[in-house]
Structure 1
């Protein structure tokens, strides 16, 4: 009985996401002033340093600190569960390995901020006229792209072989 290589090697992508996330947040912390937009593409994209003690869309941001530990536990738990899933996924199954790795990297990138600062550092702001999407970061992008790819993988590719 031969052992087929699993997709844990894809955790290297997670490490890359974490590194990019932390490097870009470090640059934002050095170069930007909090809540002062710096236009990148006028009318569409700003670098705007912001801090979020909550989760997506500032969910629970107004609470008195307990949410930090809730989101820390969720990030650790979800990342462990997804890493276990990777361990059961064939290495060549990129349709599942890619999104799982992106989500793990994003979750752990934001976890590092929570543990270091008690909040997540955001700096990318997309807007159009009077509408503005909440500021986000590389980790948030990896989580979002990973989640969309995982759904697409389940809906579009579930009946096809990898």
Structure 2
């Protein structure tokens, strides 16, 4: 990573993080204002998908959701640290390095969306429920999808970079 003028660096891709954040918060506010809370109020959309409104006090898959509340600040701190680190990395990448800048922006947008929920509400609003038979994948949201997609892009890039350097 080299010194790149800020205007030509990957931070130019932070607009994507902002779009993800706004879309995520907009959907969450819509869900909170227009749906009843809980599984009993779900809207069946497809034979494998429901739209619903639930709270997640933990992290992914409700990890630590049964704790006394300290996890809210732990996950908020982690999100701020990751956001700062990724923004720094973006400042060192050229704007033309689309793949990694998009991945970083997706993670930042999703992390900030969930941090907003944690700080404002004390929990994350989830609304997507996929299932097979009686097994339900843990409910999630757009922010979670952005984070997972961005992380998958980074992992795929690590394989791509290795293959290109060996060729």
TM-score range, shorter-chain basis? over 0.9
1:33 aligns with 2:36: yes
Structure 1 match to 2:92: 88
Q: Which residue of 2 aligns with 1:51?
A: 55
For residue 3 of structure 1, report the CA deviation from its aligned partner: 4.8
Contact 2:4 2:92 in 1 (8 A): no
Q: Residue 4 of structure 2 contacts residue 94 of structure 2 at CA under 8 Å; is this kept in 1? A: no
Gap change, CA 1:37 and 1:67, over 3 Å in 2: same
Q: How many equivalent residue pairs?
A: 159
In structure 2, the residue matched to 1:16 is: 19
Q: Alignment partner of 2:139: what SS?
A: coil
Deviation of 1:160 (Å): 3.8
CA distance in 1, matches of 2:58, 2:161: 34
1:128 Cα deviation from its structure 2 partner: 1.2
**TM-score, normalising length: structure 2:** 0.91
Report the CA distance between 1:88 and its aligned residue. 0.6
Instruction: Give the gaps of 5 or more residues in structure 1.
Output: none
Instruction: Report the Cα offset of residue 18 of structure 1.
Output: 0.1
Higher alpha-carbon deviation: 67-76 or 151-160: 151-160
Alignment of 1:1-162 (within 5 A): 3=4, 5-35=8-38, 36-41=41-46, 43-160=47-164
Runs of 4+ in 1 over 6 A off after TM superposition: none
Aligned counterparts of 1:116 and 1:154: Cα–Cα separation in 2: 36
- Does the C-alpha gap of structure 1 residues 56 and 73 become closer, same or farther in structure 2, counting only changes over 3 Å? same
- Is the CA contact (8 Å cut-off) linking 2:20 and 2:110 kept in structure 1? yes
Asked if the contact 2:57/2:72 (under 8 Å) is kept, the reply is yes
Give the helix-richer structure, 1 or 2: 2
Task: Describe the superposition over 1:34-63 as per-residue Cα deviations: whole angstroms up to 9, x where unpaired.
Answer: 11211111x211011110010000000000
